[in-house]
Amino acid sequence: MPILVDRCPIMQSIERSHLRKMVGRFALILLFYAGGSDVALASPKRVLLLHSFGLDAPPWSEYSKHIRAELFKKMPHEIDLVEATLESARLPDTVDDSPFADYLAALFSKHPPDLVITVAPLAARFVQQQRQRLFINIPLLVTATEPRRYSRSPNSNETAVLTDINLLTAMQNILDVLPATDHIAVILGASPLERFWKEEVIKAVKPLSGRVTFSFFNDLSFEEMLKTASTLPPRSALFFGALSVDINGVPLIDGGIFSRFREASNAPIFSYDDSHFGEGLVGGPMLSIDDISRRTADTATRILSSGEVASSIPTTIIGYASPRFDWRELQRWRVKEANLIPGSQVIFRELSFWSQHRWTVIGVASAIVFQAVMICALLFERIRRRLAEAASRNRLLELAKMNRSLTVSAISSSIAHELNQPLGAILNNTGAAELLLSRSPPDIDQIRQILADIRTDDERAGEIIGHLRGFLLADEATPSDVNIKRAIEDVIHIIEPEAAKRGIALESDQALQPFSVRGDRVHLQQVLLNLALNGLDAMQDTASNKRLAFQTSRLDDARVEIAVLDTGTGIPESKLKEIFDSFITTKKFGTGLGLSIARTIVEMYGGRIWAENRENGGAAFRFVLPQAKSTA
């Protein structure tokens, strides 16, 4: 495992005047590598990794990172890897490198490196130039360098892994991917190398002239670069070249530069290498830093391990890797995948929501479906319940009607008697009148009297029928304000003959108040009638003092109590509660429905009904109903 031992700037050990000349800082990283256990005791191979720009300057830092990793992976020996950076690459060519060479000479005077690897052309050139006094005959491995910026020294112990940057291919890729592109802004810094590349681009893209225009950032400050990148005209693209310093000499070597462009840019960004692939590059054919680093490490291993002579190893030139694209950027810039070069690889494909959260989605969806089903089921139940309630209400109304019919038929003989009295009288009167008319002279006065009596009897019969008809024919409950006094009087009319037949006196409180309660008139009459007949029946076996009384009283502002009192045998205490249940009867021939229906009706109108025994014998049935609001 690599251990970062030191990262101390060596500058303190160097004279200040030199330091200024040397321009810039250099940093040294010493890394010790503990290799395999079998070679743990062998002396470590010392490798100098010499940078042209800063240690943190992409893409170069990417090369060193990968090379280091590859070396540690491949080398059987322990490695003492020293990194140093020239820094002067982004400065004018006039800088004198010799103090830095002195420093390196001093650093490695006792233990010269086994291999020098240079990253980027400037370091290679520096080594070549200082070869006479520095690193004489020490194998040199040049990497991350374009053939245009490097020529192999014929008599030197060196080899190279070069990168072929085909600028035309790179630009062509932009046009392939986004065919509408008519402008490409090329990000290049103000260093000599970066200016060199500007010219190279101009040369390379000549075949594209007329189709696309180019602009370069070499002469802009960093702020201006960002501003320009953010205000590019439509159908523009950015090409990220090399940027180590801006026109004002501000070093731009840290890793955050690309992301600043990425944030600012209003156009897609392309590049020639993959150091920022995944950070916002659209992609295309690019140098694979990983690939180049691996090849570099391979070559280094051959020299260090196998003892091959560097000069005997031919120069390797590595071109673009097969094209790769960032799926997210393709989406962002609405690139059709059909536009991509055949054989392109699209990566960073975002997993669809489904594949990422499959089980969550299934779970949530199931929960929602389950809930929906439950809701539907509950709604269905609700509807069913409502229908059932309606049906049960209808049935109750039917039952109530049937109960009325039964009630009336139970007292029908009394009613028939009541009705036949006036009918009989009318028939008699008619007969008498006929006979009177046949006399001469007829007794007109008496006939007139007869006719008057006939009318009276007829009205009387009509009244009886009227009472019954209202009671029997009512089908639907029509709640209204019912005058309870009138309802009681109506019921008294109906049961009067039956009471008379049984020798029972009917009493209604003289002070019956005209309270109004909310309900259906017929239903309330039915309650009263059921209670009254119940009372009459209760007095069946009573010898004397048979009385049935109706009373009303106001409980409070909102409720009215109505009582039906009899002087009968009373109710066994054990039956007081259950007497209102269906099919509970104390009578020989009762249906057991009368009181049950009475209770149902009372409760339907928000009231309550109960029975009790009176102190002086007999039973009292009482019910309480909400008083109608309109009651005065």
Partner 1 sequence: MTSPSPVIHIIDDDGSFRTSMRRLLAALGYQTAIYESGSAFLENLPIDDAGCILLDLQMAGVGGFELQERLGLSDNTLPIIFLTAHGDIKASVQAMRSGAEDFLAKPVTKQALIECVERALIRNLERRQHRDRLRAMRTLVTSLTPREAEVFAMVVRGRLNKQIAHDLGTTIRTVKAHRQAGMDKLGVKSLAQAVSIAERLGMLTD
Binding site for partner 1 (CB under 8 A): 413-414, 416-429, 431-432, 435-436, 446, 450, 453, 456-457, 460, 500-501, 503
> How far, in Å, are 21, 184, 270, 381 from residue 241 at the CA level?
28, 12, 9, 71
Choice between 364 and 452, CB closer to partner 1:
452
> DSSP string of 312-352?
GSPPEEE-PPSPEEEHHHHHHTT--GGGSPTT-EEESPPPP
Q: How far is the CB of 447 from partner 1 (least distance, A)?
A: 10
List residues bridging with 482 in a β-sheet. 517
Q: How far is the CB of 424 from partner 1 (least distance, A)?
A: 3
Choice between 194 and 496, CB closer to partner 1:
496
Distance CA 614, CA 27 (A): 114
3-state secondary structure of 563: strand
Q: How far is the CB of 511 from partner 1 (least distance, A)?
A: 26
Q: Are 622 and 561 in contact (CB under 8 A)?
A: yes
First to last CA, the chain: 100
Burial 320-330 (b: 16+ CB within 10 A, else e): bbebbbbebbb
Choice between 195 and 460, CB closer to partner 1:
460
Q: How far is the CB of 423 from partner 1 (least distance, A)?
A: 4
Choice between 189 and 422, CB closer to partner 1:
422
Tally Cβ neighbours within 10 Å of residue 249: 12
Q: How far is the CB of 467 from partner 1 (least distance, A)?
A: 17
List residues bridging with 507 in a β-sheet. 549
Q: How far is the CB of 386 from partner 1 (least distance, A)?
A: 46
Rounded (to 5) percent helix, strand, coil in the chain: 45, 20, 35
Q: How far is the CB of 493 from partner 1 (least distance, A)?
A: 16
Please name the residue ranges forming H helices in 51-191: 60-74, 98-107, 121-129, 167-177
CA dihedral 489, 495, 496, 501 (to 10 degrees): -170
Which residues have a Cβ under 8 Å from the Cβ of 477 and sit 6 or more positions away? 397, 520, 522, 523, 604
Choice between 424 and 479, CB closer to partner 1:
424
Distance CA 506, CA 150 (A): 133
Choice between 425 and 584, CB closer to partner 1:
425
Q: How far is the CB of 410 from partner 1 (least distance, A)?
A: 13
Q: How far is the CB of 472 from partner 1 (least distance, A)?
A: 18
Choice between 375 and 452, CB closer to partner 1:
452
Q: How far is the CB of 537 from partner 1 (least distance, A)?
A: 18
Mark residue 367 as left, alpha or beta (left: phi above 0; alpha: psi -120 to 50; beta: remaining). Answer: alpha
Q: How far is the CB of 589 from partner 1 (least distance, A)?
A: 15
Tally Cβ neighbours within 10 Å of residue 197: 25
At which residue do the structure tokens 């992609």 appear?
Answer: 283
Choice between 29 and 495, CB closer to partner 1:
495
At which residue do the structure tokens 């009493």 appear?
Answer: 507
Choice between 230 and 449, CB closer to partner 1:
449
Choice between 364 and 505, CB closer to partner 1:
505
Choice between 388 and 505, CB closer to partner 1:
505
Which residue type sits at 146? E
Q: How far is the CB of 445 from partner 1 (least distance, A)?
A: 12
Which residues have a Cβ under 8 Å from the Cβ of 344 and sit 6 or more positions away? 283, 322, 323, 324, 325
At which residue do the structure tokens 């190893």 appear?
Answer: 313
Burial of 582 (0-12, 13-18, 19+ CB in 10 A): middle
Going by C-alpha positions, the residue among 429, 477, 481 that lies closest to residue 450 is 429
Q: How far is the CB of 412 from partner 1 (least distance, A)?
A: 8
Distance CA 98, CA 629 (A): 112
Choice between 453 and 509, CB closer to partner 1:
453
Distance CA 345, CA 498 (A): 105
Choice between 387 and 452, CB closer to partner 1:
452
Choice between 247 and 500, CB closer to partner 1:
500
Q: How far is the CB of 510 from partner 1 (least distance, A)?
A: 22
List residues bridging with 257 in a β-sheet. none
Burial 271-304 (b: 16+ CB within 10 A, else e): bbbbbbbeebbbbbbbbbbbbbbbbbbebbbbbb
